[in-house]
Amino acid sequence: MLIGFSSHLNLLLQHASDPIELSSRVGAWQTGLRVISAFPLTGIGLGGLAYLVNAAPYMVPEQLIPLAHPHNSYLEWAAMAGLPVLFVFVAILVLNMRWALHNWIVADPRSRCLFAAGLAAIIALSFNSFSVNAWTLPPLSAIGWVILGILSSPLLSKSQVGHTTEGKHDKELASAKAG
């Protein structure tokens, strides 16, 4: 990978270590916070063009160019749709993560690694959303919601409970036949 993608890796390292990049990202977040403080309940409207046009009066000097989003999914929800929508989004995310953790706890040991991989993907997507628009980028959010929906399905915990009950019942039948 280092040989085949060396030019791409160099660009990535330059992008990550550029001090102007960090101040510009913080500026985008500050602009997003100013938009949220101006329109806390309704936001400025969904869509990149709506943010690009309507956030211009609130742009801070650290943000060097106008952007279509504040480079943070949570700030993007609040700035474009308002704080109530952000709270609903976070509540749905936390509730589904809680159900997914419950399903992981009741899962058999062979299935737990699959649950752990899915949970790690959702956690990584959620933390990554603090610095990019991961939860609001359609391809990433669609995959994330599918993974989270599968992990948090109530049918998984019911099938695990039924599976363990059937296993005990089968053992009891086997011991009764043997005895």
Q: Distance between the two ends of the chain, CA-based, in angstroms?
A: 62
Q: What proportion of the chain, given as a percentage, has pLDDT over 70?
A: 83
Please indicate whether residue 138 or residue 3 has the higher confidence score (pLDDT): 138
| 79 contacts 46 by C-beta, under 8 angstroms | no
Q: DSSP states of 40-68 as a string?
A: TTT-S-SSHHHHHHHTGGG--TT--S--S
| Whether pLDDT at 165 is above 50 | no
pTM greater than 0.85: no
* Alpha helix ranges (H) inside the chain: 6-17, 19-38, 48-54, 73-81, 83-106, 109-128, 138-151, 154-178
Residue 66 CB contacts under 8 Å (≥ 6 apart), including other chains: 52, 55, 56, 59
Segments making up each domain of the chain, as ranges: 1-72, 82-179
Rounded CA separation 105/89 (Å): 24
Q: What is the pLDDT of residues 10-45, one digit of tens each?
A: 777 776 676 777 778 888 899 999 999 999 999 998
Q: What is the pLDDT of residues 45-81, one digit of tens each?
A: 888 788 888 888 999 888 888 888 888 999 999 999 9
Question: What's the chain's average pLDDT?
Answer: 84
| Whether pLDDT at 86 is above 70 | yes
